[in-house]
Each structure stands twice: as structure tokens, then as C-alpha cells.
Structure 1
């Protein structure tokens, strides 16, 4: 379909400065700046889309400033002056690609931007098809998107979970963690699954709704003692999203030759202090295997994984109820909503439903 020659303008958040600790949301040193820009005409193979939902992920913090050099990072980072990126669900307004038409819904894992209107490449956009049982399409950004894929691949491939294993999942009430708890128990046959979360209320949800055998509040003054009591036979696989003192404690609970699969280190994203691990020699003493991974490593397996995840959710083995926090907001509020991730202001996946 040919595109219109009418120029479109859109409000768009750009990266104004790279933060060294927590992003700054206002004032002269603000991390982000809201601008109104004119979009270029569509080129062949492109889509003009209206954003419906933003995916809020802690990993986006590393897109704007990381201890990893940009040339070593797993996806292109966001340069100063460029639009802030995130996963999105959007509606096609105009199409210059034969396989899309106005009204179609599309998703992009990480190349969308914090904008009201975006131009996407059709080749890297994923068309959204209805889910069984009228499940919300927003699950494509969470349970059936990067979060669910990270949970599954981290446990099954990077962690090597086997039937009968004892598995621990940190950030168990978050987008990846809430799927990991259920995947370990329901799909991979773990004998015992222990969650770690940031409040007693979240731990109750992880136990009662997600089916964890135990869940421990890492803010508890007796966290280390509670962790030891919950893992009397020690741990085969630990899925680590947080690093810091939680990882340090977990090093003392791993079995000899146990596996730690690392997909995040959110405890240090907004800190300019180095991460300290007092128990690091446990890695040598217990011959612990630590493996970093990203779900993009396993995209060839994604169709089969998503078939399993959607099927398990459709028949009730995996529960998605209360696994999304959706905030309706205008574009002006997006940075503040994203920052709620770092203060525990969500349960499950945090999404912004963009209103104009």
C-alpha cells in the first residue's frame, strides 16, 4: 500500500544525558527530554504506527548507560539525542509493505520508541494474532514475549533444569520471575521451587497464586537464615535477575556443580558503587557454573516455546491472572512509570497503555 505524503508529527522522549546512578526525571540534568518531531516519509517496507502499549523493563536501564562498552553490548544502545527505545504494541496507520494494512496490530521486542507515533520496519515487526480464550494481546509483551522467553530459556537451556531439581528464582514477582516460577514447576518438572521477592505481600502471591513451595522476602533482616531453611537440600539451579546481596547469599546455597543462569543484575543498575560478593570463593569451592544469557540467543526455539507457554496458559496450568500491571497514561508520564520498576511498584509485567 502506498504511503501518504502528509507529514506526521509526534511527541517523543529522547535521551538527553547518560545517568551515572538513578535516572533524573526533572530539572536541567534530566535524563530524558520530551520533543515534538516530524517523521520522515515512509520508505518501502516500512510501517507508520500508533503506539498502544509500552513495555517497561529494567533492562532498558542498560540501554542508556552501562558498565559494558557499547560495542560489547548485546543490542545497540541509545546514544544521547536519540529516541528512548522499548518494546511496543502498535496499530498500523499507513503501510508501505505488502503484508500489512491499516488497522493491523504489530509488536517490536526492543526497537520501538517512547513516541506516540513510530515508523517500524515490517521485516522486524511481529504481527499479532488473537490468543485463545480471549487472553489479552498485551501478554505478547510479557508472558508470551521477552519475559516469558527469558524465563523459559534461562531455566531450560542456560540453567539446565531437570525433573526433580530444586530451583530458586529471584525477582519472582516480576515479569520474568513470575513466569519462571511456573515454568520450572509445571513445564520442566522441578521438585521444589523457591521464589525471592521484595515484600511479604509479593511473597504470598508467589506462593498462593504461582505455586512456589516457598518465597522469601529479601528485605527481611533474617533473609539469609530463611533462605537456608527453605533450601535444606541445597539448590540445583538459580535464575538470577538481581545480583547483589541476593546473589551473594545464593552462592552459599548452591549444590556442588550447581548452575546459576544470569539474565539481570537490577540491584546495581542505578548505583555507581561496585557490586560486592563476599562469598565469591564458593564458585571455586563448590565448582559452581555461572552462565549469562539473553533470550535472543534462542530465537530459533521461540516458536516451540511460545506454543508450550500459550497452551499451558490456555488450559490453566500456567496462571496469568494478576500477572500484569497496566497503567493508563499520556506520553508525558512514561519516564516516571518506567522508573516504578526500581521501587517495586508493580506485580508481574508493568505496561503503559498510551492515551492521547
Structure 2
């Protein structure tokens, strides 16, 4: 039986911010007929989309496609993201109708999807009736990136002072809690946009301090919050925040680079006035991808889920779930870049 589905197609690669309407629109909603299932595949009804700023680099990046860490999205192809889907047909002995599966980054902005069973992750129930959506956030790519960035790329230790940017976002909010509750770091400082978000980072996530990067006194506030300088900086944003942080790093300090969201929608190169600090202070800068540590994923997730189950990590306000039809998906995703979310941003797809 043939199935048709609405799906968003990449029609133009943006040079700046993606365009949501008009003749130069980045995406176009089309109705497509899905191919018949092959052996080892499943047909899924999408329940949730994962909204991540890093998807911006899937459609246009300064990195050549052959050097990118996952396949990029060619023009004329469906836009990709992580998804949770319910299996409605199966040609695989692994899954049956009604099973819930997740795909980290090879799902598409479609109502129905054909997935390779071997690339799907089955979703087990979470303790304490935690919602399954956490598999796309705290117990998915966001949590894994936060953990591996701190422990492996950043080499963080309990005696360290740690600063985390985008601290109210999906990855940053998990990194703050991991640094405070699991690592037991001496001092954890968040950077977030706005006083309300900074209050949440301190009061709910446990950061010792949080600095508002939108404040005109940001640089002075950062210096005041780091009198002993910084051992580890977990960077999600790049730009002027990274530039300021370079002046606060200790000699031989570590910068773990997870993202550079401040530049994703800009066609201007990132400008860093303080680049020589890296040489002068012998700063170690390491980019990382959580996919590099998938051999450790089961153990990491076990630790994170255990910490959530016993209350050390709080997930109650760590998600923003928006119920919407597929027609609204590009707009919801783009709201990430204006800070509309607190914690992980997910779309609950309704028909």
C-alpha cells in the first residue's frame, strides 16, 4: 500500500538566516509518495521533532560537505532532524506496529517516515514516569554532548571553575547540572540571555552564578564572577562571548567547543579580538562531537537516568514542547535563534 506524506523540502541554501516565506524561501512544503518498505525497514508516524540550532549547519555551512560530521541535506531533499516516531508498519523482525523508536539525526520533517530499523533506537519507559521526549534531549544528543564535552573534551575536575554558555538551552542546561550535581565542581557559572533565564539557571539548575550576555556590563560582570579565572569553558555560542572568555581562561585552561550558534545565521566571519590569549595563556581548544563517544553512551545514559531518577538532576522545566501541525515546523525551529525556548525545544506533531 502506497503512503503519502507532507514533508518540508530544502529548496534554497541560505547565506544568512533561513527565509520562511516568499520566492527565496529556504523550505517548501510538499506532498510526497513514500517508497514501499524494503526488508529491514519500518514506516513510522512522527510524534516529535527535535529542534536543534546545529541543524542550521545541515543546510549550509562553511565546512565542506565531505568534511562534515554527518551527511548534509542536499537541495531538493527533505529537511532532517532527530525524531520520535510510532511504528505503523514493519518489515523488520526487530519492531512491530505500536513500538516507539528514535532516530538521532536521520529523521525528516515529515508526517510519515521510512526508517532503517538498524539505525533506530527503541525507546524504553523512563523511571518516575518521565516523558519519553527526554530521549531527544536530556537522554539524547543534548545530554550526551553535555557529558562528553565536560568530562572528555574539557577534562573537567571537581576542583575546577567551569563556565558554560547557552546555559538555559538544551545542552547548556544539562552541562550545568552535570557539572554541579555529578562532577561536584568547585564553581559553575552559566551564561544566558536575560535576567529571567539567568535566575532559572541559578535557582533551578544549581549554578553558583549566571551572567547575562545581553547586559551592557557583560564583560565586567564576567570578570567579577571569575576572580580566580576559569579552568574549563564549555562553549556553545562562539562570537563575542567566546572572545570575552578567552581573557578569563587560566594558563593551560581548556575550552570545549560544542557549537557556535552566534554565527550560524550570519554571513560575516566570526571576529575574535582576543585570539592571542590562546598563545599567551597556552589555552587548549578542542572541538568535539558526541558521536565520537558512542561506545560510552550506554554507561553515560545509565548515569544520567539514574541521577534524574534520584532527583540529583531536575528535568521538570528542562523542556519546551510546542504542539503544532507540520505547516508550522520551520517557524518553531527558527524560534531557537531568538531564545524562545527554555531547555530543549521539541515539536509535538499534531494532524
Q: Please give the TM-score of this superposition, normalised by the length of structure 2.
A: 1.00
Matched, 1:231 2:214: no
CA distance in 1, matches of 2:344, 2:296: 22
**Per-residue displacement from partner, 1:145-168 (whole Å, max 9, x unpaired)?**
000000000000000001111000
Alignment counterpart, residue 75 of structure 2, candidates 80, 98, 108: 80
Match for residue 190 of structure 2? 195
Count residues in correspondence: 351
Match for residue 3 of structure 1? none
The ranges of structure 1 where at least 4 consecutive aligned residues each deviate by more than 6 angstroms after the TM superposition are none
Match for residue 90 of structure 1? 85
Matched, 1:208 2:203: yes
Matched, 1:147 2:147: no
Match for residue 287 of structure 1? 282
Question: 1:26-175 residue pairs with structure 2 within 5 A?
Answer: 26-175=21-170
Question: 1:316-327 residue pairs with structure 2 within 5 A?
Answer: 316-327=311-322
1:274, distance to aligned residue in structure 2 (A): 0.7
CA distance in 2, matches of 1:60, 1:81: 16
CA distance in 2, matches of 1:297, 1:318: 24
1:171, distance to aligned residue in structure 2 (A): 0.1
CA distance in 2, matches of 1:186, 1:206: 13
SS of the residue corresponding to residue 53 of structure 2 reads: coil
**Per-residue displacement from partner, 1:257-299 (whole Å, max 9, x unpaired)?**
0000001000000000111000000000000000000000000
CA distance in 1, matches of 2:313, 2:76: 42
Alignment counterpart, residue 272 of structure 2, candidates 277, 291, 301: 277
Match for residue 314 of structure 1? 309
SS of the residue corresponding to residue 92 of structure 1 reads: strand
CA distance in 2, matches of 1:212, 1:288: 24
1:188, distance to aligned residue in structure 2 (A): 1.3
SS of the residue corresponding to residue 190 of structure 1 reads: coil
1:186, distance to aligned residue in structure 2 (A): 1.1
SS of the residue corresponding to residue 59 of structure 1 reads: helix
1:70, distance to aligned residue in structure 2 (A): 0.4
CA distance in 2, matches of 1:236, 1:95: 50
CA distance in 1, matches of 2:294, 2:342: 26
SS of the residue corresponding to residue 183 of structure 1 reads: helix
CA distance in 1, matches of 2:206, 2:124: 29
CA distance in 1, matches of 2:99, 2:161: 43
CA distance in 2, matches of 1:186, 1:165: 14
Q: Please give the TM-score of this superposition, normalised by the length of structure 1.
A: 0.98
CA distance in 1, matches of 2:186, 2:302: 24
1:79, distance to aligned residue in structure 2 (A): 0.2
Match for residue 245 of structure 2? 250
Matched, 1:355 2:350: yes
**Per-residue displacement from partner, 1:187-231 (whole Å, max 9, x unpaired)?**
112110000000100000000000000000001000000000000
